[in-house]
Amino acid sequence: MTVCALLEGAIETSYTVADNSVVVATDSIKNTIYIKAKEHPVNPPELYASILGTHFLDTYAHISVANIRVTVHRWTRLDVDGKPHPHSFLRDGEETRTVEARVTRDGVALTSGIQKLTVLKSTGSAFHGFVRDAYTTLPETWDRILSTDVDASWT
């Protein structure tokens, strides 16, 4: 799981007069991400992102928006000497589950998704009846291989 937290709020003075008293340090944000993951479930990631964003708003009065992005990677436990190893994994595929939470004092807006999901149908996929014109060279077929990459999101 990869987590990105971007905070918005009354922080202009950190840029205009070099006043860091309004800056939430990236180290504090990183530590918060780890601690909240230990204290709360990370599944479903929508819940974790909401909890994390709400924490930042509850903790820092000058922060008005917490943008939390969670990317869940698929990991598979490695076998060593024919047995599952207790702490060795490999990334199993490129596809990821994504969650973007925009947490404000008025509520939480969630967008979930899947990225880089490759699907394959090895037979039984037809493609015929499409527009044929002077630029068409593709023959119609009633059985072919179909493969595509899917990126999808929903709210």
Give the mean model confidence (pLDDT) for residues 33-53: 98
Nearest of 37, 38, 40, 65 to residue 53 by alpha carbon: 65
Looking at residue 133, what is its pLDDT?
Answer: 97
pTM of the complete model: 0.85
Looking at residue 51, what is its pLDDT?
Answer: 98
Looking at residue 114, what is its pLDDT?
Answer: 98
Give the mean model confidence (pLDDT) for residues 24-30: 98
CA distances, 134 to each of 128, 131, 137 (Å): 17, 10, 8
Q: 23 - beta bridge partners?
A: none
- Domain 2-117 CATH class label: alpha beta
Looking at residue 47, what is its pLDDT?
Answer: 98
| % residues pLDDT > 90 (the chain) | 99
**Domain boundary assignment for the chain:** 2-117
Looking at residue 19, what is its pLDDT?
Answer: 93
Q: Look over the chain and give the mean of its residue pLDDT values, rounded to a whole number.
A: 97
Looking at residue 148, what is its pLDDT?
Answer: 96
* Phi-psi map region of 72: left, alpha, beta (phi>0 left; psi -120 to 50 alpha): beta
Distance, in Å, from the CA atom of 53 to the CA atom of 20, rounded to the nearest integer, reads 21
Tokens of 141: 């077929």
